[in-house]
Amino acid sequence: MQVVVCKNASEGAEIVTEEILSALSKKPELVLGLATGSTPIEVYERLICAHKEDGVDFSSVQTFNLDEYCELNADHPQSYRTFMREHLFGEINISEENIHFPPSEGPELAEKCLRHEEEIRQAGGIDIQLLGIGSNGHIGFNEPTSSLASRTRIKTLTEKTLRDNSRFYEDPSEQPQVASTLGIGTILDARRILLQAYGDKKAEAVKASVEGPISSFWPGSALQMHADVTFVLDESSAAHLEMIDYFRKSRTEGLRLQKDNTA
């Protein structure tokens, strides 16, 4: 596990964007696992800029989004499909058939979730998975007590998550109570994981995920079992980390070695 403490969210977004663009330059058919919410928006803005200003080609990229609400259609303003069209897909040259969301509509959702897992396997697996983290430690919509081996499935949202997202709904009765999500086991199958977390509201979840025991009560702690995961933080979200000085030293030494090897 690597922990990178940035000056601010913009610096963190730049680091994540550079990782994606570097991987894309080596593998045009890159498979990306994508997140929604405010945290990844700056990354998506930078990817759009790379496409429009530098000609970066996304035509062979495949994407698998982390989650989607089950009670919203694709055109609903609060659906994650709408979010992704507005913040990324509508501005780059990605093929519609290469865009995937976990199933969230119609009958037999359990069977559709199994087929979604097979689609990920047929794509060759996720190369880079982008993550945020909820204040209760959820990744995707894997709420506390989710199985650490879980796969794509339907989850009921906790009251904490519903409260955190309630600002988006003027009428509480319109807020979805369930969602489809990639499972923790599915997320851990990704070759590389980049998690962004900014602000003091995420500090407890970051502390539990990075330095706490591995526990289903803090789903993000499962990332400790991954061989190539980076937490990209700001000073506020990293404030509770006991090993913060070590993480800073490790980052400095890693950059120094990288520079020496390319000199």
Closest Cα partner for 244 from 193, 206, 214?
Answer: 206
Catalytic residue among 42, 143, 189, 234: 143
Catalytic residue among 136, 142, 189, 234: 136
Please list the alpha-helical segments (H only) found in 55-106: 80-87
Catalytic residue status for 136: yes
Closest Cα partner for 30 from 112, 92, 90, 113?
Answer: 92
Catalytic residue status for 138: yes
Question: What is the rounded CA–CA span in Å between residue 92 and residue 96?
Answer: 11
Catalytic residue status for 51: no
Token readout for 177 is 């109570």
Distance (Å) of CA 259 to CA 14, 56, 192, 249, 262: 18, 25, 22, 15, 5
User: How far is C-alpha 50 from the geometric centre of its chain's CA atoms?
Assistant: 20
Catalytic residue among 67, 68, 127, 234: 67
Catalytic residue among 116, 138, 142, 189: 138
User: How far is C-alpha 3 from the geometric centre of its chain's CA atoms?
Assistant: 16
Please identify every residue annotated as catalytic.
Answer: 67, 136, 138, 143
